[in-house]
Amino acid sequence: MDFAAQNRDEAALPGNCNVASAHADAAAPTETDSTEEGWQISQSFRAKKKQAKERKFQQGGDFSADSTRTTDNQPKRRGRSTRRRPPALPKDDLKVVFRPHQGLPLKDMTTQAISDAIVEACQGKIRWDEFILRVRPGSNIALASTPDTTVAMAMRGVTSFNINGRPHPVNVSVTTGEGTKKGVIHGIQPHTPSETIKASIRFRTQGVTLVDARMLEESESAVLTFFGDILSRYVYYRGGEKEWIPFRNTVQFCRACGEVGHRTDVCPQPDSPVCRTCAMCNPEVNHNCTPTCAICSGNHITGDRTCLKRLKRVRKQAAKPPKKPHKPAPRWFQSEEEESEWEYG
């Protein structure tokens, strides 16, 4: 379940997936998840995920010894050395996102200082051992993972915290978590309420639940969030068939400092003088300004709809190795050699 602000002056055209995706990162985290509706969505999704896990456990499966054997005898593939990524956070935990306002670089803070500030802002309702805090310096956000709903509710009420004796306002939101899939449909009347969209959507895939639906700002595109493993390529809006296009976030770009990786509303250096067209630092008043994209270095402004690299790549999960077929043991063996041959192959 289970989270880039683009130029709001760009007009979103109907039927254009790229345009809809360009506005996605600006609308998704702060305008929906931080509201009461976003909180109810996260709670509903968590309950559905728990029910699905219980049904899977009741149905049972192959718990034989062969299903738990590892593939240590298989040769390991060697690839390029990459930077070590931190371990994955607990999948079933609630994820609370803290977005500080402009002027607070979280990369210069220690995680324990931020953790202590959050505990203090919650006025003693939570303890530091009830959550895991992770800082994403590129996006300039802090992510708290907790299994306790009470802790998440206390964090959700935080509006500012004190660091180094100074109060810093923050925006707090709760993500829907892993296990959900987002897609975009086009041709919807602008400003259609979320409840109206949810009541007008039908789909034929079994075992799938629609958990959220919202419009993308001023466009004629809507984002649908489903919970399920298999989704259909088409949904039905008020009886009309519409193609469901997988959702892709845009690369975050700050128009205040000109850097790629974070949004303008969380910029740690909002006073940096940067030309918005050519990304030149400390530009003169009448300098030669040639449009240069900070994402692809092309001859266009950053975030333009013609940029081929403005959409984030979809991560493909590694394919799981196939399970070995279960070989039933005979009731008895004719000799010790036959038993050894069966046991060791």
Sorted by sequence, the CB contacts under 8 Å of residue 29 that are 6+ apart come out as 3, 97, 99, 173, 175
Res 253: pLDDT: 77
For 263, the token pair is: 């949004």
**Alpha helix stretches (DSSP H) within the chain:** 17-22, 24-31, 36-59, 65-68, 111-121, 149-156, 194-200, 336-344
> Which SS3 state, helix, strand or coil, does residue 189 take?
coil
Res 316: pLDDT: 58
Angle formed at CA 332 by CA 330 and CA 335, multiple of 5 degrees = 115
Assess contact for 174 and 95: CB atoms under 8 A: yes
Residue 206 CA to residue 204 CA, distance in Å, equals 6
What's the average pLDDT block by block, 10 residues per block, for the chain (345 residues)? 42 42 43 58 74 72 44 51 76 87 84 93 92 88 90 89 89 74 90 91 85 83 83 89 84 76 72 75 77 80 76 60 57 59 54
Res 176: pLDDT: 62
> Which SS3 state, helix, strand or coil, does residue 161 take?
strand
> Which SS3 state, helix, strand or coil, does residue 27 take?
helix
β-strand partners of 281: 274
Tell me which residue of 302, 222, 197 sits closest to 256, measured CA to CA.
302
Res 6: pLDDT: 43
Res 267: pLDDT: 75
Q: Give burial (CB, 10 Å; 0-12/13-18/19+) of 51.
A: exposed
Res 178: pLDDT: 66
pLDDT in tens, 275-302: 777 777 777 777 778 887 877 878 887 7
Tally the C-alpha atoms within 13 A of residue 54's C-alpha that lie toward its C-beta: 6
Sorted by sequence, the CB contacts under 8 Å of residue 344 that are 6+ apart come out as none
Q: Which long-range contacts (CB under 8 A, 24 or more apart) does 50-55 make?
A: 50/92
Res 326: pLDDT: 56
Res 329: pLDDT: 53
Res 36: pLDDT: 65
Res 246: pLDDT: 83
Res 108: pLDDT: 86
Assess contact for 248 and 257: CB atoms under 8 A: no
